[in-house]
Amino acid sequence: MSRLRPDDPMERLAVALAFRGLSPSSDREPSRIAAMAVDEVPWVLEDLRLDASVTEMDRLPR
């Protein structure tokens, strides 16, 4: 049995979507899933934005 990693924003988003009965492989429109995620878990999306910005900064030449 795998343990939930609360520090992993993607896992937290997957759990939040699963709670709503959605999954990345759901037959619903991805934009609808994303809109529901924005309503349900804005803090996860903020974490994802922060993670993305760190990744982008890592790619910049030094």
The model's pLDDT over 2-35, given as tens digits with 9 standing for 90+, comes to 555 556 767 777 776 666 665 655 555 666 666 6
pTM above 0.85, yes or no: no
Q: Alpha-carbon distance 53 to 18, whole Å?
A: 26
Q: Alpha-carbon distance 62 to 48, whole Å?
A: 24
Tokens linked to 7:
């520090």
Crossing angle, helix 30-40 and helix 42-59, to 10 degrees? 110
User: Which helix H or strand E contains 9, and what residues bound it?
Assistant: helix 9-19
